[in-house]
Amino acid sequence: MTYCVAVKLKAGMVFLSDSRTNAGLDQISMFRKMIVYEKPGDRFMCLLSAGNLSISQSIREILQTEQLKDPDGGEPITIWNARSMFDAARVLGSAVRHVYQRDGEALRRSGIEFNASLIFGGQIRGEGMRLFQVYSPGNFIEATAETPFFQIGESKYGKPVLDRVITPDTPLEEATKCLLISMDSTLKSNLSVGLPLDLAVYEADRCTSDRVVCIDEHNAYFHMLRSTWGRKLREAFDQIEAPDWDPTGPLAAPSGRHAALRKITDPKDRLI
């Protein structure tokens, strides 16, 4: 399995991926799922991938040389010369379709779904940052102010903290912390998501990043974050008043229009 998450803020973008790949439970390997494409000052792009590893590796390989015809008759469009992230995402969609054309039918014959899920974001000089989620058919959607993050892979464990914290105004450092906590929840609940992590933080309008790190079990910050978050969560939990069963108290007092369940006390009791 995999967990990757990316967020687009006013201040920049943050990308985070795990690196565990498994075929069943007994064949577990480390493969990195992030790739950063950069021409400093001109373009910064980050691709995160989930799904079948043979498909995502092929997509990445093909993406390096994939070309779209320029409707104006100019040079073919690649991720390296695209004038917009939208065009770069189209190039990526096209790479996905090429892999599908090559492998889709043979995979289907083996009962394997063509399964690729990608997050692709960044900035090309001359336009704002953009963040896309690209699906198996090569189509894609774009993050907006209302939905500033995308997750792929094992996304549910780590979603509650993102829902609570992330808005377009979240500062970069805070978003980085939030994504690492989201990853921590996922690591804790799903063994098939594993360290090390790749983290890339991009500041708006720089078209380059020097904040790309690999985080493993020895990383002091992640270590601190995991243990502090666990302890703070527990403290937060302990500070919430426990329920009491006083029949006029806040938990047990009748409220609204829904009665408590009627108990079934006999085989002849009707259920409805």
User: Please, which of residues 187-246 interact with a copy of itself by CB under 8 A?
Assistant: 188-189, 196, 198, 200-201, 210-222, 224-225, 228-230, 232-237, 239-245
- Could you tell me which stretch among 83-91, 94-102, 123-131, 250-258 binds a copy of itself (CB under 8 A)? 250-258
Question: Which residues ranging from 63 to 92 are in contact with a copy of itself (CB under 8 A)?
Answer: 64-65, 78, 80
Question: Which residues ranging from 19 to 48 are in contact with a copy of itself (CB under 8 A)?
Answer: 32, 34-40
For 71-129, list the strands marked E by DSSP.
116-124
**Is position 134 an interface residue for a copy of itself (rule: CB under 8 A)?**
no
Measured from the CB atom, the residue of 105 and 246 that comes closer to a copy of itself is 246
Q: Can you tell me the distance from the alpha carbon of 245 to that of 257, in angstroms, rounded to the nearest whole number?
A: 20
Tokens (6 digits) for 246: 């006083």
Measured from the CB atom, the residue of 133 and 155 that comes closer to a copy of itself is 155
Q: Which residues contact 253 (CB under 8 A, 6 or more apart)?
A: 247
8 A C-beta contact, residue 27 and residue 193? no
Position among 27, 73, 146, 261 found at the interface with a copy of itself (CB under 8 A): 261
Residue type, 181: I
8 A C-beta contact, residue 153 and residue 19? no
**Residue 71 C-beta: closest distance to a copy of itself, Å:** 21
Position among 177, 183, 193, 194 found at the interface with a copy of itself (CB under 8 A): 177
Q: Can you tell me the distance from the alpha carbon of 137 to that of 153, in angstroms, rounded to the nearest whole number?
A: 17
**Residue 269 C-beta: closest distance to a copy of itself, Å:** 7
Q: How many alpha carbons lie under 13 Å from residue 75 in its C-beta half-sphere?
A: 7
